[in-house]
Amino acid sequence: MGRSSKNTSSIASFALIGWAAAALIQRDTDISPQTTLNVDVCVIGGGAAGTYSAIKSKDLNKTVVVVEQQDRLGGHTKTFVDPGSNRSIELGVGELEDTPIVREWFARFKIPLYQYNFTIPGVTSEYVDFQTGQIATPKQGDLLGAWDAFQMQVAKYPFLDYSLNSVPFPVPADLLLPFGQFITKYNLQDAVPYLSLYAQGWGNFVTLPTLLAIKYFPPSFFSPTSLYSGGPGALAAKDNSLIYEKATKELGPNALLSSTVLSMDRSAADLVKITVQTPSGKKLICAKKLISAIPPLIDNLKGFDLNETEVPIFNKFQGHSWYVGLVNSSGVPDNVTLINYGTNNTKNFNLPVLPGVYDIFATMVPGLHYFLFGGNDSQPNFTQPQVETSLQDTLTRLRAKGSISGSSGATKALSIIDFSSHTPYEVFVSSDQIAKGFYNKLFALQGQRNTYWTGAAFVTHSSAAIWNYTDQLVTKMWSEGPGTTTL
């Protein structure tokens, strides 16, 4: 799927008819009163935004039910606990910004936080071109100077510290540039190696609209207390999934895991009906309000009774793919992290060539490494076997060129211990759509049809930012009557 978006009335009408038909297929006549849940709010999605929405509403004395298609809450937070050492390895959200909302959220569940350590004692990083298998020598540039220049550019846009609803209209022209052009315009090339560490899962991020790229780096990112400005650092729990495990326990039977939305009816003035397929059968949820906390791609909203206003908005969204796996028998020494450097990818600042493996990281557990894999803009989705094959091919090239130090060069049987799909990731729209006021239209949906929307697509891929926005949204939602919530 490329970046061009089709926007014709015929497509919108076709999609609308399809969603209306899906909503009509499922009826609630075959659902008994025993399987009907009457609550104040139904939350679709149990990731960072959805779990926070549910617990925040519960703390405001509202009854709540969460519908989550996975068998756990947590979304992009996924933790592997090694049974031998009891050490945790994060296969998703690793560090958290040190902000009041983060500290308050973990304190709510009595989970201690610690300073996050980005390094492992004794581990060194080696740069290798994963395409050729050869050891790479990165260009030595003025990282600090470029980083200062980048900070100066970001400071022009204080609204980046808030939701995408705060973007002015018309949108500043520089924010509509492909990020690669923005980098070149302001001579920020030497900052790309550092920026790219945060852009994994963003596809070919130099083609992303600059607004969405630098939204991850708002002015607060450079505050004196921020880790990135030499401040005290980021935070993490011993196991970042603990907060979702405790939330699951607190929600009890009202956390509907491994469940999907079959149909929805939001036509009433003060009631939303959602028919859900759960492992134990169908349930009918009757709620006063609905919060959608899933990536708002049109394919993700099957079962929603989208109307003629919503479909033309949500069908503009596209997504990227990102996968994380934990492996042993890789042949990579325990004390080595491999960084992929695209030696020949000069047009894209020597970034890794995608689709492919970004990096292979050492862990605190001997024998285990975790790897990150991303798709490109034209091929956004991959199966686990496809990702595993790419990783195996990468390791074979590294061995053939002798780039894995300390290895015998013999091919070893790769073993995937854990695998997580974080797809869709970094949901985005084109610069053309942003220029036409897309986000004004998107946020105008808040409160319409008793429905509220939250998640990374409305802020950025930062747990702290998502929780902060969701906290304000839910608070305002319960303090206002029916209608539009401007936030």
Angle between helices 242-251 and 48-59 (to 10 degrees): 50
pLDDT at 153: 95
Distance CA 219, CA 217 (A): 7
Closest among 239, 283, 240 to 258, alpha carbons compared: 283
Q: Which residue has the tokens 């209306």?
A: 20
* Average pLDDT per block of 10 residues along the chain, 487 residues long: 37 44 48 82 98 98 98 96 95 91 97 90 95 92 92 92 91 97 97 90 93 89 59 80 98 98 96 96 97 97 97 96 94 94 94 96 95 87 94 94 65 82 95 97 97 97 95 94 59
| Mode of pairing for the β-strands spanning 281-292 and 36-44 | parallel
Let me know: does 234 contact 101? Beta carbons within 8 Å. Answer: no
CA 107 to chain centre: 23
Q: What is the pTM of this model?
A: 0.91
Give the pair of three-digit tokens for residue 426.
């970094």
Identify the bridge partners of residue 390 per DSSP, sorted by sequence position: none
Give the pair of three-digit tokens for residue 36.
């009907």
Q: Which amino acid is at 410?
A: A
pLDDT at 30: 63
pLDDT at 296: 97
Distance CA 429, CA 40 (A): 32
Let me know: does 314 contact 298? Beta carbons within 8 Å. Answer: yes
| Mode of pairing for the β-strands spanning 318-320 and 425-428 | antiparallel
Closest among 162, 180, 182, 163 to 172, alpha carbons compared: 182
Helix (H, G, I), strand (E, B) or coil at 40: strand
CA distances from 422 to 92, 255, 353, 374, 461 (A): 8, 21, 19, 10, 12
Distance CA 463, CA 103 (A): 12
Closest among 127, 126, 123, 96 to 111, alpha carbons compared: 96
pLDDT at 410: 45
Cβ neighbourhood burial of 157 (10 Å; 0-12, 13-18, 19+): buried
pLDDT at 329: 85
